[in-house]
Copies of this chain bind each other. A is one copy, B any other.
Amino acid sequence: MTVRIAVAGASGYAGGELLRLLLGHPEVHIGALTAGESAGSRLYEHQPQLVPLADRVLVSTTPDELAGHDVVFLALPHGHSARLAAELGEDTVVIDCGADHRLTDAGAWQRWYGGEYSGSWPYGMPELPGARARLHGATRIAVPGCYPTAVSLALAPALQGGLVLPEATIVAVTGTSGAGRSLKPHLLGSEVMGSASAYGVGGVHRHTPEIAQNLSAVAGTPVRVSFTPVLAPMSRGILATCTAPVVADVDGAVAYAAYQRAYADETFVRLLPDGSWPATAATLGSNAVQLQVTVDADAGRLVAVSAVDNLTKGTAGAAVQSMNLALGLPEATGLTNVGVAP
């Protein structure tokens, strides 16, 4: 099987990570690489790490350039996907790494993003209950946000099992690549290095409704979410500390057992041995989520901590994993749960 793929937004960080993974995917032929302002330049100017594609010329992000591929990955700013997808043919698999088709609630879209709502697509987080089935054979897939990936998988077993009340307080530390290649002063190396900083505080980060949507679905009841992101001096990685009030009689052993059951068969979710806690470095470049859970009896809270590479499992890896499911390939093809460390 040879899958002809195209990547729209190949000059950005998500696009580059997609191509890194696809270069190692045995069934893929890499076709058109498109960009906005960077159209006409060669790929090495933007992605010097992608040696085999160095001399590829970026073309404009248009339906014509994207036509004729089996799979089209969209790594574009939000609001750009729906129109493109509409012109791509229903049998083309369109995998949107942006936010456009993640939210199932039109009102939430309006509040958090604004503009026309384009509906929701099957959600590319196979490890959530019921999600895998919806991805088999899908031709439209919404890749989850990086924070929602780290948070949802960290809390799903607790909420699904009724171990905690539907009220989560989450602080997630992220590397800077989550913001993309944006030329903003607070993303300059000089500002970032040696500094941790808060942003999007007070429930205003756009990943909040996506987190609430996922957690509420697994809990079967609305989950109230307090979410605070923190920027740390590293390029990649998210470490999410997720807590919720524990219900009576749930101790650490009960919680650990529930997580073991939930993820026993998941290649890309690694529940660490008891007593070990995750570090983002161990997930670098990998599609794995590493996590651990315990109960703080004094505080009456379950505490789950997860680590992911925001560009891999948090974006491009989930996209490839979803593509594999959509096409009927083995789910892990071209992916690894092995990180590049130290």
Interface string of A265-293 (1 = CB under 8 A from B): 00000101100111111111110101010
- Interface SS, A side: mixed
Q: How far, in Å, is A132 (CB) from chain B's closest CB?
A: 20
Contact with B along A44-83 (1 / 0, CB 8 A): 1101111110100000000000000000000000000000
Question: Contacts A239-B230, A243-B228 known; A194 to B48 CB distance under 8 Å?
Answer: no
B residues within 8 A CB of A286? 49, 51
Contact A193 B235 (CB under 8 A): yes
**How many copies of this chain are found per oligomer?**
4
Q: Using a CB-CB cutoff of 8 Å, which residues 92-109 of chain A contact chain B?
A: none
B49, A281: Cβ atoms under 8 Å? Answer: yes
Whether, in the assembled complex, A169 has its beta carbon less than 8 Å from a beta carbon of chain B, the answer is yes
In the complex, A292→B202 CA distance in Å? 11
Knowing A232-B232, A294-B202, the reply to whether A188 touches B183 (Cβ < 8 A) is yes
**Which residues, 272 to 331 on A, are CB-close (under 8 Å) to B?**
272-273, 276-286, 288, 290, 292, 294-301, 303, 305, 307
Q: Say whether A241 faces chain B, with CB atoms less than 8 Å apart.
A: yes
A237 at the interface (CB under 8 A from B): yes
* Shortest distance from the beta carbon of A176 to any chain B beta carbon, whole Å: 4
Which of the segments A114-122, A133-141, A334-342 contacts the partner chain? A334-342
A147 CB to nearest B CB, Å: 13
User: Which chain B residue lies CB-closest to A336?
Assistant: B24
A-B contact pairs, 19 of them (CB 8 A): A13-B342, A20-B340, A24-B336, A24-B338, A48-B276, A49-B282, A52-B337, A54-B270, A169-B243, A176-B190, A181-B185, A193-B194, A195-B237, A195-B281, A197-B280, A201-B294, A203-B297, A228-B303, A284-B340
Residues of A at the B interface (CB closer than 8 Å) are 13, 16, 20, 23-24, 42, 44-45, 47-52, 54, 169, 171, 173, 175-177, 179, 181, 183-199, 201-203, 208, 224-228, 230, 232-239, 241, 243, 252, 270, 272-273, 276-286, 288, 290, 292, 294-301, 303, 305, 307, 336-342
